[in-house]
Structure formats: C-alpha cells, structure tokens
Structure 1
Amino acid sequence: MGVSSDEGRAVRREAERVVNEVAQGLRTLDDRSSWFSALSPAERQAVLQEVGGYAMQAHITATDGQVGVARSGVKPTANSSVMICMDPPRYGFAALPADEHVKAFRVLVAVFSVADTRRRQTLCNGSCGHAWHNVLP
C-alpha cells in the first residue's frame, strides 16, 4: 500500500515546509514530530526519503551529524544516529523498520537544521537564490 503521486507531492511539499519551519526556529522539533507520527507508514517513508534528500543537498558533515543528534533527543546509539554521524553519512532512513521512523525523522530534521543554518550564515549569506533559505511567514 503506497502513496499516490498526487498524495506524494502534497506530502513532500508539506515536508519541505515542516522541515524549514524547524530549521528557522518557527516550530519545535517535538511539534513537527507529532505531525510526522500522524502520517501513514507509506507517507512517513516518503517524508524520510524527502528529508534525506534535503540533508544531502545541505552537504551535512559528521560534525553536523553529532550536533544534530544531540539536539534531536535520540540516543547516539540509535540506527539513525549512527548512520548520520558516519563520514560520509549513510542514508536510506526510509528502509529502517517502521518503529524507528520517528527517531529517523527527528535525527534528519535536527541535522538538516544544523547544516542549513551553517550554510545560510556562510555560503548563502545575502547572495542566495534558494527559496528555502527565505524566512517563512
């Protein structure tokens, strides 16, 4: 049982907004983890794939991984924590067992927030055309 293409697009758009709200400090990770928990298993997998892509595009580092894991509230020994802190980071969070999806979401969003903030303050400071670096309303 998967997600239709229209549903998938809607979930991915919502995921983009949710992740950027956390990265910009507009929402808490706890609040957005509740949103994620309410999704169907197929939607959770789609969101994990999407957010994993954001993390890759943000060029996360092992240091970003360590800082993000500390912020995520997930144990450093959890599969998702170990995967993201490897050098280079490992992806494939959607393939983790369903009972690990919320942990994976928390880790991915926290690590993305660290890396995206670093990039907004350095590489994209004032000269960036990335729509997701604009402050959300």
Structure 2
Amino acid sequence: MTESSGEDARALRRETERVVNEVAQGLRMLDDGAAWFSCLSPAGRQEVLREIAGYAMQAHITAADGRAGVARSGVKPTANPSVMICMDPPRSGFAGLPADEHVKAFRVLVSVFAVADTRRRQKYCKGTCGHAWHNLPAAAQEP
C-alpha cells in the first residue's frame, strides 16, 4: 500500500464517520448520505459498509434496533440487508453482498446505527458525553 492510498483510506474513514453521524443525528438526510455513498468507487463502498457495520456493532445494536432501522431506511424488510440486520444476533458481512445491494445495505446500516446510537446518547451520554461525534454542530450540515 502506498502512502497516498493510506492517506486516502484515513480520509475516507473520517468522511464516513462525519456523514454517518450527521445522518444519525438528523443533520443530514438519509437520501443525501446515500447519494454521497453512491458516488464512491466499488472498493470505497465496501470499505464504508465495513466501517458502518463496525459502528453499529459498537453501538450494541439489537434485533429490535434492526427492525426499527429497517422501517426508517426505506428498504423492503425482505431485502438481504434487512434480513441480515434483523437476525438475533444481527449478521455482518454487508460488504460481501452483491454490488447492486450496497446502497440498500448503506441505508439499512445507517438507519439501524441511528436507532442504537440515539438510545446510547440519550441513556449514557446525556450531558456528559466526550465523544466528538456525539456533539456535532448543526452548522456541519452540507448541501
């Protein structure tokens, strides 16, 4: 791996963190996040799916979060990403789905993360959170 590709990977992770958390906190619309995601290369989309799946697991998603997130995502409950996230325990491997399912997987993962992360912010971080990604300024929203 070259130095610039390492820098590119770090930049993509930072941008992913920002976009996903803006969507989760209602500072960016899910459709806008999906449009951003759709513009990435196929390898970039796979990396973002792996990253978001990690966020979701860190937020300790549950099957109930999966169902609530799928309902918010606009993705059919019978689509592969929807079924995977609603299993108990939720499945991973979204980056391994066929490329034509990546946008659906993004929408499902971000929506489920939003449900779980909102619960965690309200229960554990309310007023005392030091996580920078839980304290995004409203001005961070981009068109």
**TM-score normalised per structure 1:** 0.94
Map Cα deviations across residues 77-133 of structure 1 (whole Å, 9 max, x no partner).
111101111111111111111111000000000000011101100012122222211
Letter of the 2:67 partner, please give it: Q
Match of 1:5 in 2: 6
TM-superposed deviation, 1:59: 0.4
Corresponding residue of 1:130: 131
- Partner Cα separation in structure 1 for residue 25 and residue 102 of structure 2: 23
Taking the aligned partners of 1:129 and 1:92, their CA distance within structure 2 comes to 30
Shift of the alpha carbon at 1:4?
A: 2.5
Alignment-mate amino acid for residue 51 of structure 2: E
Asked if 1:71 corresponds to 2:52, the answer is: no
Q: CA deviation at 1:135?
A: 2.6
- Following superposition, which runs of at least 4 residues in structure 1 exceed 4 angstroms of deviation? none
Work out the CA distance in 2 between the residues paired with 1:62 and 1:125: 24
Larger Rg: 2
Q: 5+ unaligned residues in a row in structure 2: which ranges?
A: none
Q: Which residue of 1 aligns with 2:21?
A: 20
Aligned partner of 1:49 in structure 2 is: 50
Letter in 2 for 1:115: A
Query: Please, what TM-score do these two structures have when normalized by structure 2?
Result: 0.90
Deviation at 1:5, TM superposition (A): 1.9
Q: State the partner residue of 2:103.
A: 102
Aligned partners of 1:130, 1:81: CA distance in 2, in Å? 28
Separation (CA, whole Å) in 1 of partners of 2:25 and 2:109: 15
What is the alpha-carbon distance in structure 2 between the residues aligned to residue 49 and residue 133 of structure 1? 20
Gaps of 5+ in 1: none
Once the two structures are superposed, what CA deviation does each residue of 1:30-83 show, in whole Å capped at 9, x if it has no partner? 011000001000000110011010000000111111000000000101111011
CA RMSD of aligned residues (A): 1.2
Using the aligned pairs only, state the percent identity: 76
Q: Distance in 1 between matches of 2:85 and 2:130?
A: 27
